[in-house]
Amino acid sequence: MSFTSSRRDILSESVLRTVTFAIDHFQVSPGQGVDLSLIDANDTPFWDPTDKAGAKKHVASLAKELQQQQAMLWAQGKHKVLLVLQAMDAGGKDGTIGKVLKGMNPSGVRVESFKKPTNNELAHDYLWRVHQKTPGAGELTVFNRSHYEDVLVVRVMDLVEPRVWQKRYDHIKAFEQLLSDEGTTVIKIYLHISKDEQRNRLQSRLDEPTKNWKFDVGDLEHRTKWDQYQEAFQDALNKTSTADCPWYVVPANRKWYRNIVVSEILNQTLTGLKLSYPKAPDIANIVIDS
Amino acid sequence: MSFTSSRRDILSESVLRTVTFAIDHFQVSPGQGVDLSLIDANDTPFWDPTDKAGAKKHVASLAKELQQQQAMLWAQGKHKVLLVLQAMDAGGKDGTIGKVLKGMNPSGVRVESFKKPTNNELAHDYLWRVHQKTPGAGELTVFNRSHYEDVLVVRVMDLVEPRVWQKRYDHIKAFEQLLSDEGTTVIKIYLHISKDEQRNRLQSRLDEPTKNWKFDVGDLEHRTKWDQYQEAFQDALNKTSTADCPWYVVPANRKWYRNIVVSEILNQTLTGLKLSYPKAPDIANIVIDS
């Protein structure tokens, strides 16, 4: 990951505020790669770790900007945006979607969750079901898990032979390049939590009645293979982060911090598209009869 | 429509408030039917028409309850909920979705917009594409337009012969009964606006740059057939409102009022499902290794 101290100014609600979040700090550089074991999941770059209250206010303000951006994305009907979310079990995918994306107009936002494939899905190549769910013009689509499971769980749990999954990084890069070349902005985020934090979160699913439903005994088996998963994630990040379709690694032990970073990444990326409301060219002389 | 003055008590955020909104007031009684020309689109039953500020507060409070209900719906993964939204052009379908549903977790909420059918869709019966988009367990799905267009625009614009669309009310009733019998709660809402209000809204699409994109010259042609559309809507409402899959007619000239009523209908219907967080039965002795 590269570190950039550059600042960026955003004019929001008539208040000029200085954003110190250089999102490329979190990006996996295509050339350089990333070593997950060196990234502290408790870290809070660009933010005072004691300022949780300020963080929540900041996320709320970013949410308003995101709503405006998404309204223009939808109105313009030109760009397509795909956000891929991956993490270990209990890594915070659902929570991120709930906190960062809520407030957007659900007409233009879709969440696609990829679970264990059906027999019909397995009868096709692994990108078949994924391709069908990619965003259309004006849409922001979130993949809650994705085709990356086909080089993660599939690899770690030996569901196919190595010679099969080893070829998949190239497929995935080519597939995402297609999406990008044809007008889709692809953002990929890995929510990075520690093994301790995973235990805490799984435990809270046991302890809190409103979270029981999220507990899956199967998660414990995956947890015993923590190191293999970390290795598989690291390979996936390093082999498929490209200039057009970058991966971001977000320290995600602190949920309030994770929400800032994901909001900033989305917001800055959408801002970069220079979205605007389209003008209808031929409406000047229209009169509506009573 | 029947009028019921009954009150219902809801315990919300530790405050007992009395809800005076009897949603069955807005329901189209299967036996009785409705005459749209007698319903004032400016009307605000159960609410002081001058209290717009209070209305916004009320909708915000209902939105919080809706979030809680939807979180349980999703967690429980048992019930399916389908909200069908229909209206004349500029009737407020998009606005309602934006205002009433935003704030819900987008993981469990999907909006399906049915536009002009594709060639492939037209190659099948008219319920084929619709059936595919119905909600799964735990999901709340909103149809922005729906199969009702096949007895509305299709009828008014003479896209098929009368002997074809006349049979469709029975198909639709049977289809929705299937959904209901198999566990889907079906709510159908017609947003009722006046012809004058439609002119105002279409005009604002011409006048306001951020709304230009919504202006469609085709809407003006439909507007010339206002009376035929009203007749087609009235027939659809009267022929397909059933005890299990009722239609509601919501006076919708005042957007703030429309938002209350739609929120109340959704909220009271979800409350009626007596949703709860499921308990995992076999987690008592689980220990998570560090």
Residue-by-residue pLDDT tens, chain A, 290 positions: 433 333 333 334 333 344 578 999 999 999 889 999 999 999 999 999 999 999 999 999 999 999 999 999 999 999 999 999 999 999 999 999 999 998 888 999 999 999 999 999 999 999 999 999 999 999 999 999 999 999 999 999 999 999 999 999 999 999 999 999 999 999 999 999 999 999 999 999 999 999 999 999 999 999 999 999 999 999 999 999 999 999 999 999 999 999 999 999 999 999 999 999 998 767 778 888 88
Please give the Cα distance from A153 to B270 (Å, whole number). 37
Q: Is the dihedral of CA B110, B114, B120, B121 positive or negative?
A: positive
- What pLDDT, in 10s, does the model give residues B224-265? 999 999 999 999 999 999 999 999 999 999 999 999 999 999
Q: What is the pLDDT of residues B155-187, one digit of tens each?
A: 999 999 999 999 999 999 999 999 999 999 999
Contact check, Cβ <8 Å, A111/B111: no
Spell out which residues of chain A touch residue B142, defining contact as CB-CB under 8 Å: 106
> B207 Cβ partners below 8 Å, 6+ apart?
none
Could A105 and B98 be called an inter-chain contact, meaning their C-beta atoms sit closer than 8 Å?
Answer: yes
Per-residue pLDDT of A219-265, as tens digits, reads: 999 999 999 999 999 999 999 999 999 999 999 999 999 999 999 99
Name which of A106, A195, A278 is nearest B111 (Cβ-Cβ): A106
Nearest to B203 among A142, A217, A288 (CB): A288
Confidence band (pLDDT; 50, 70, 90) for B7? very low
**Which residue in chain B has the smallest CA separation from A206?**
B283
Q: Rounded to the nearest 10 degrees, how much is the dihedral formed by the CA atoms of A239, A242, A247, A248?
A: 120
Rounded Cα gap, residues A163 and A144, in angstroms: 26
B203 in reach of chain A (CB within 8 A):
yes
CA pair distance B248, B235, nearest whole angstrom: 14
Interface probe, candidates B286, B287, B290, chain A, greatest A C-beta count within 10 A: B286
Q: What are the beta bridge partners of residue A140?
A: A81, A109
pLDDT at A19: 53
CA A221 – CA A187 distance, rounded (Å): 30
Cβ-defined contact of B106 to A94 (cutoff 8 Å)? no
Region B62-71: mean pLDDT is 95
Region B30-56: what's the mean pLDDT?
95
Quick check: A210 and B94 CB within 8 A?
A: no
Rounded to 5°, angle at Cα B228 from B224 and B229: 85
Residue A199, chain B, CB below 8 Å: the answer is yes
A102 in reach of chain B (CB within 8 A): yes
Q: Which of B198, B183, B187, B191 is nearest to B143 (CA)?
A: B187
* CA-wise closest residue to B29 among B192, B241, B268, B251: B241
Phi (first) and psi of residue B199, to 5 degrees = -60, -45
